Homo-oligomer: A and B are copies of this chain.
Amino acid sequence: MGHKLGIIGYGGMASWHHNSIKANFTDLEVVAAYDISKERLEAAKNNGLIAFETAEEFLSSHLFDIVLVATPNNFHCDYVCRALEAGYNVVCEKPVALNCEELDKMEETAKRCGKLFSVHQNRRWDKDYRIVKQAYEDGLVGKPFTVESRVHGQGGMVHGWREFKVAGGGMVYDWGVHMIDQMLDMIPSKVVSVYANLHCVRTLEVDDYFKLVMRFENGITGQIEVGTFHLVQLPRWYVCGDGGSLVINDWDCNGKIIHTKDTVMNWEPVVVQTKAGPTRTMAPRPADTLEEKPLPDVETSWSSYYRNILDTIDGKAELIVTIPSVRRVLKVIEACFESDRTGTGLKTDI
């Protein structure tokens, strides 16, 4: 039996969900939408949806069994709870909430109502991330000591409600949430400290640049950086381990793994005169001690997210994007804001 989905907030992300579901599912159909904007309701109608002008009518219609909440972030908590109370399974756009207090309320409501509640952390299925995860799990760079994840945009603009603090705007909430989620998903260890600097480079009140460094209990240093005004970009991923280094330059997943051959200790380090002066420690390594390997090949699709939601509702699978996993991400986000506000690092137990 197929499932039907209704959308609260038919903006940019919602129509992406709509199209993506249409293209990938025969057992999931988007049928209805509610929005506060007449223009977007018109768009929903034009896309073949039943458009509701009030949340009450939408929630009492029961024309669908799953609700997607895709409003600005500050409205997530209220709509998620109302949809759960009305008896729907709920998928919420990221970030699920502005803070853990909101999330607690949402999770408590989901438990009480006995309904599925998940968050659209679809980037766990991004190809670049899956390649890094595969390399990590297969030890392709040995034991990593630093894992760095960057998204360097060029535009220098933050759009719509994402410009405003009250709406949960800014890059930590918008992109940081994905990149923190990926890193926590990949590294099976607690976050024991967090340090972050947030900047308003070309914005008035929300961060359009942040640098986050966190230490994991297993020793790995994780770094996440997002900005909107980088006219030169550093690589999307950079991972160094005691057996080699990995780089993924861009969304197209151009990159490589370099590791040392068995002959690693058979070269005699000498002091060389570089433009940097005499150095033995930083002397270039003979090229024949290095070996380049391609990045591992992975198959991945964002539709796996909704596949898992449907299978979980049908009792055929375990939920992948669980609320405890989402809460860890939100705790790191809270620690980022706190670190930036207090101007120091935080010991954490996340």
Contacts and interface: CB of A to CB of B under 8 A. Distances in A.
A258 B154 CA distance: 11
Copies in the complex: 2
Interface residue tally on A, bucketed by range:
35 or more
A156 interface: yes
Given A215-B197, A221-B197, A345-B195, A162 B281 contact: yes
A227 to B, nearest CB: 7
Contact of A240 (B230, B238, B253): B230
Most buried by B among A235, A285, A344: A344
Contact of A221 (B145, B199, B251, B259): B199
Contacts of A223: 211
Contacts of A154: 284-285, 290
Contacts of A195: 193, 195, 213, 344-345
Contacts of A162: 281
Contacts of A271: 12
Contacts of A235: 234
Given A227-B240, A251-B275, A343 B258 contact: no
Nearest to A250: B275
A202 interface: yes
A9 interface: no
A156 B276 contact: no
A242 B339 contact: no
Given A231-B260, A232-B256, A281 B174 contact: yes
Given A126-B276, A234-B235, 17 more contacts: A123-B277, A127-B275, A151-B276, A153-B281, A156-B260, A156-B264, A195-B195, A197-B221, A199-B219, A228-B282, A230-B240, A231-B244, A232-B245, A232-B247, A234-B238, A251-B276, A345-B345
29 contacts: A12-B271, A12-B280, A16-B278, A123-B277, A145-B199, A145-B209, A146-B227, A151-B276, A153-B281, A153-B283, A155-B282, A156-B264, A159-B269, A159-B281, A174-B281, A175-B282, A195-B213, A199-B219, A211-B221, A228-B282, A229-B242, A229-B245, A230-B240, A231-B260, A251-B275, A252-B275, A253-B275, A344-B344, A344-B346
